[in-house]
Structure 1
Amino acid sequence: MPEIKTAGKPLNEAKKAAILIHGRGASASSILSLSSYLKLDEFALLAPQAEGNTWYPHSFMAPDQQNRIALESSIATLETVWKQIQDAGIKPEQVYFIGFSQGACLSLEFAARNAQKFGGVIAFTGGLIGETFQPEKYSGDFGGSSVFIGSSDRDFHVPATRIKESASLMEKMGAKVKTLLFDDPEHTIRQEEIDWVNKNILM
């Protein structure tokens, strides 16, 4: 069983849940600290911990074989968290995915592989995973789910081209996508991103 840190409302008392997914080298505890900035007071918060603090060993755009085993294990971890939330009776449209960097990539990847009406997908610096862009991997209909992707327009790890490709694919799958690309080189979460998400997705 994966290690899952929890915060916020108890799962059996909450009507909404958020799965928070940390970045490379970070931890479940560190991503939970985002709840101080996001409007998550009414949520059950679940943050899985990656083994060795990384969800997959190489770049999210490395040759697929290099990340395959670790990536599938990480997707399975998210499936475990998803099942816990579903078993608690929380509807998919009340479930939110929130990730940064590796966690943002994983959030988008899991959501696109299992597209349905979610509460929202919030990706702070991320794109769909793979050496090349592979639309055939994804299926389902987001049914108007809100998807947010914010990043630098020249992030060292996540090219803006992959962010735009990911946004376009998810729009074709029925998501309402908002991208905010900032004119700075920082690999971080900006206050403008927090403000947009609080106003438009977590209101």
Structure 2
Amino acid sequence: MYTHHQQISIGGAPAANAKGALIMLHGRGASASDMMQLAGQLNTKEMTIYAPQATNSSWYPYSFLAPVQENEPALSSAIALIDEVVAKALADDFTADKIYFAGFSQGACLTLEYITRNAKQYGGAVAFTGGLIGEEINLGNYKGDFAGTPVLITTGDPDPHVPVSRVEESVAILQGMNADVTLKVYKGRPHTITHNEIVLANQHVFV
């Protein structure tokens, strides 16, 4: 098992001039540079982009639906690394309501897990194909109030890695914590990010 080292790519607008911070989490087998390319398709020209890199290009070893202990210590290490990235954004003078999150697949699961464990009014979040982590959802992990934070969650039906039932369960939990959630399910969509999802992200979160 592995832990994550602090490797963070930073791009976009310089923090001193930026209107917001965007923390981007890549999928399994992908990289921080992939997320930097994705940022170029989003309305993020006036944002500072923070993209951490997972050790071995994977945030945790098994499915997000595996028992949590099987994905430890990697999962806790990943959560801690996001905490460090958030701390860096705060140190760069971004308040929480100016901090945004976006992730794909494994990175989308991690995005939702992090923000729901640390709910507050963020700028917004996008989970391209993801749900809350664990064989069973542990409601005891989640606390706080999103105070209307816009959250977009998209997925395919069926998706080879993320069941729609878990996505819907996750949506209900975030809504119960006062997130303004938009869910879009695409019938027969492959495990990817489509142009339509980029458009939705720009309409609902990166406005």
Whole-angstrom CA distance in 1 between matches of 2:154 and 2:169: 14
What's the TM-score once normalised by structure 2's chain length?
0.96
By how many angstroms is 1:63 displaced?
Answer: 1.4
CA deviations on 1:2-53 (whole Å, 9 max, x unpaired) are: 1000110122332300001000000000111012211100000000000010
Question: Which of residues 77, 83, 95 in structure 2 aligns to 1:91?
Answer: 95
CA deviations on 1:63-95 (whole Å, 9 max, x unpaired) are: 111102100000011001000001111111111
What's the TM-score once normalised by structure 1's chain length?
0.98
- Structure 2 partner of 1:114: 118
2:78 counterpart SS class: helix
Would the aligned equivalents of 1:9 and 1:45 in 2 still touch at CA under 8 Å? yes
Whole-angstrom CA distance in 2 between matches of 1:108 and 1:149: 9
Whole-angstrom CA distance in 2 between matches of 1:51 and 1:14: 29
Question: Which of residues 45, 50, 53 in structure 2 aligns to 1:49?
Answer: 53
Q: What letter is aligned with 2:10?
A: T
- Structure 2 partner of 1:58: 62
Whole-angstrom CA distance in 2 between matches of 1:164 and 1:146: 16
1:148 counterpart SS class: strand
Q: What letter is aligned with 2:53?
A: Q
Would the aligned equivalents of 1:156 and 1:185 in 2 still touch at CA under 8 Å? no
The unaligned stretches of length 5 or more in structure 1 are none
Whole-angstrom CA distance in 2 between matches of 1:64 and 1:84: 27
- Structure 2 partner of 1:169: 173
Identical-pair percentage: 43
Tell whether 2:185 aligns with 1:181.
yes
Question: Which of residues 8, 11, 14 in structure 1 aligns to 2:12?
Answer: 8
Whole-angstrom CA distance in 2 between matches of 1:195 and 1:179: 14
**Structure 1 residues 192 and 185: CA distance shift in structure 2, 3 A:** closer
2:63 counterpart SS class: coil
Whole-angstrom CA distance in 2 between matches of 1:52 and 1:23: 11
Question: Which of residues 82, 102, 113 in structure 1 aligns to 2:86?
Answer: 82
2:114 counterpart SS class: helix
Would the aligned equivalents of 2:130 and 2:162 in 1 still touch at CA under 8 Å? yes
The unaligned stretches of length 5 or more in structure 2 are none
Whole-angstrom CA distance in 2 between matches of 1:165 and 1:158: 12
- Structure 2 partner of 1:136: 140
Counting matched residue pairs gives 203
Greater mean alpha carbon deviation, residues 184-193 or residues 52-61: 184-193
- Structure 1 partner of 2:41: 37
Q: What letter is aligned with 2:204?
A: N
Whole-angstrom CA distance in 2 between matches of 1:186 and 1:38: 21
